[in-house]
Structure 1
Amino acid sequence: MKFPAGDLFIFIFFLIGVLFISIAYYLYYSHQQLVQHGVATKGVVIDMHRMKPREYPMAPSIRYHIRDGCELVFHSSEGRNPPAYEIGDEVTLYYDPAKPENVQLDGDYLMVYVMGGMGAVFLLLSIWSVPESTVAIWKWLFTR
């Protein structure tokens, strides 16, 4: 029996979609856990930094205070073009009281949207053919 390359490609495409959707769910769930169980505080944008040299997406650096009065700075890893914040803006963020460096900005779901969108595209392009592809791969594996 001939190797089902096209069917394997479709099945892998489907698995990549499932992986991206799973990552999006994990990111959303961890963000929600921090919002529900973390401490809300206000921070001030003190700087905008580039994600990589000579690239335009700008991410904020935010100064915030935790319950014991310590001042920390959070350097976001999610940049946007145009920037979502300006220096001096006050923002709400959530931190883990046991690990105050674990911070999430309120409403910062960019990576959830990116991963979910990519996963949806992969799934929509492959889901219609997955049953036939699975059968073809199964037959190739076990009827040789």
Structure 2
Amino acid sequence: MKNFNVHKVLMCLITAILFCSFGGSVLYVRHFVNNAMEGKGHVTNLVRSNSKNGYVFKPVVEFQTVDGARIEFTSSMGTSPPSYDVGDNVTVYYDPKDPHSAMLSDWISMWGASIIVGSLTVIFGFITYMMYFRVSFKTPRRRRKSAKA
């Protein structure tokens, strides 16, 4: 029986979970945008949030639904420096059944999470591949010549 390596199985499992998460993230955004209503809004405020490297700024956006309701939401993605200024006009996608579930139509808000998870999937997939096939970047050792009697 071959040696069972727990770390290889764990890396395969993590890679599979990341791959599924990436696929789910892409499908969620596509489904959301395909079923969402498009609206025009404007940035009313910038919320400063703590991050690992300092601060990020998340735009607070107000828009009007087709029904005439005024909705305000804070974007889930923040940047430093801020991507928007107060008063900027923006395009918003929102769920007509739940208008508070809204998303800015910019690249980072829509695809940022998918890109991050996809990048992690590629990194873990590469490491898993290297572990599985025992690829090593070490210089191979020379074999000793056996002494003949």
TM-score category of the 2 structures, normalised to the smaller one: 0.7 to 0.9
C-alpha separation in 2, matches of 1:94 and 1:13: 37
- Seen in structure 2, the aligned counterparts of structure 1 residues 81 and 129 have a Cα distance that, compared at 3 Å, is same
Query: What pairs up with 1:38-77 in 2 under 5 angstroms?
Result: 38-52=36-50, 55-77=54-76
Q: With CA pairs under 8 Å and 6+ residues apart, which has the higher RCO, 1 or 2? A: 1
Segments of 5+ residues of structure 1 without an aligned counterpart are 133-144
Given the two structures, how large is their TM-score scaled by the length of structure 2?
A: 0.76
Segments of 5+ residues of structure 2 without an aligned counterpart are 135-149
Query: What pairs up with 1:17-36 in 2 under 5 angstroms?
Result: 17-36=15-34
Of 13-22 and 36-45, more deviation after overlay is shown by: 13-22
Identity of matched residues, % = 25
CA RMSD of aligned residues (A): 2.4
Query: What pairs up with 1:103-118 in 2 under 5 angstroms?
Result: 103-106=102-105, 107=107, 108=109, 109-118=111-120
After superposition, the C-alpha distances for 1:5-42 in whole angstroms (9 at most, x for unaligned) are xx211221222122222222212211111211110111
SS in structure 2 opposite 1:63? Answer: strand
After superposition, the C-alpha distances for 1:28-79 in whole angstroms (9 at most, x for unaligned) are 2111112111101111111111233894111111101111111111111211
- Seen in structure 2, the aligned counterparts of structure 1 residues 86 and 14 have a Cα distance that, compared at 3 Å, is farther
C-alpha separation in 2, matches of 1:113 and 1:14: 20
Question: How many residues are paired up?
Answer: 130
- The one-letter amino acid of 1:34's match is F
SS in structure 2 opposite 1:123? Answer: helix
Larger Rg: 2
After superposition, the C-alpha distances for 1:67-98 in whole angstroms (9 at most, x for unaligned) are 11111111112111222222111111111111
- The one-letter amino acid of 1:68's match is D
Counterpart for residue 135 of structure 1? none
Shift of 1:127: 2.2
C-alpha separation in 2, matches of 1:73 and 1:122: 38
Counterpart for residue 144 of structure 2? none
Given the two structures, how large is their TM-score scaled by the length of structure 1?
A: 0.78
Q: Whose helix fraction is larger, Structure 1's or Structure 2's?
A: 1
